């Protein structure tokens, strides 16, 4: 047992969190696979459509970026799942397993955190497309840096993010 004042044992790498929806996953790619009646029923909250997260494709360059950054960082997916859509929790883990493998040697094996309070996680970097939601705007309180990803962000593509992070590994 460790003393409370001792630091946890780590790999020595910096900790990198990556959001899923709009960052690793292209949310919009699911809509062609959804029954139009469900789209209409959930027009205000499309993320509440049961099973929607199973249909999403990766953002361009996201898979390659994770594989390139994995040797340099301790990477975790830090995502929020809709409270009113319990299938989303399951579908997000399955998505990670489908695209990164379910085996122990996969870069994201048992590295998925689903939370509505992202600021409670401590780490060095958080790549997220929504810098003012679910505590992302408070991630810096513990010394972390938010990398605003995508349209309107400081880094709009995965190659830009990789270049930026490799310089800071």
The one catalytic residue in 21, 91, 128, 129 is: 21
Catalytic-residue membership of 124:
no
- For the chain, the three-class secondary structure string (H helix, E strand, C coil) is CCCCCCCCCCCCCEEEEECCECCCEEHHHHHHHCCHHHHHHCCCCHHHCCCHHHHCEECCCHHHHHHHHCCCEEEEEEECCCCCCHHHHHHHHHHHHHHHCCCCCCCCCCCEEECCCHHHCCCCEEEECCCCCCCHHHHHHHCCEEEEECCCCCECCHHHHHHHHHCCC
- Per-residue confidence of the chain (169 residues) as pLDDT tens digits? 445 444 445 678 999 999 999 999 999 999 999 999 999 999 999 989 998 888 899 999 999 999 999 999 999 999 999 998 989 999 999 999 999 999 999 999 999 999 999 999 999 999 999 999 999 999 999 999 999 999 999 999 999 999 999 999 9
pLDDT score, position 54: 87
Catalytic-residue membership of 21:
yes
Domain ranges for the chain: 14-166
pTM: 0.90
The one catalytic residue in 19, 91, 124, 129 is: 19
Q: Where does 14-166 sit in CATH, by number? A: 3.40.50.1000
């Amino acid at each position: 047992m460790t003393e409370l004042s001792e630091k946890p044992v780590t790999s020595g790498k910096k900790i990198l969190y990556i959001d899923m929806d709009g960052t690793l996953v292209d949310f919009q790619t699911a809509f062609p696979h959804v029954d139009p009646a469900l789209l209409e029923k959930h027009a205000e909250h499309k993320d509440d459509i049961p099973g929607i997260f199973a249909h999403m494709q990766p953002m361009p360059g996201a898979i390659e970026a994770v594989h390139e950054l994995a040797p340099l960082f301790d990477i975790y997916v830090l995502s929020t799942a809709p409270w009113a859509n319990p299938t989303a929790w399951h579908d997000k883990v399955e998505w990670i397993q489908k695209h990164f493998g379910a085996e122990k040697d996969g870069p994201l094996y048992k590295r998925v955190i689903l939370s509505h309070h992202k600021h409670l996680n401590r780490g060095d970097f958080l790549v997220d497309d929504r810098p003012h939601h679910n505590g992302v705007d408070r991630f810096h309180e513990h010394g972390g840096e938010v990398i605003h990803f995508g349209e309107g962000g400081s880094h709009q593509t995965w190659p830009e993010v990789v270049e930026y992070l490799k310089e800071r590994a």
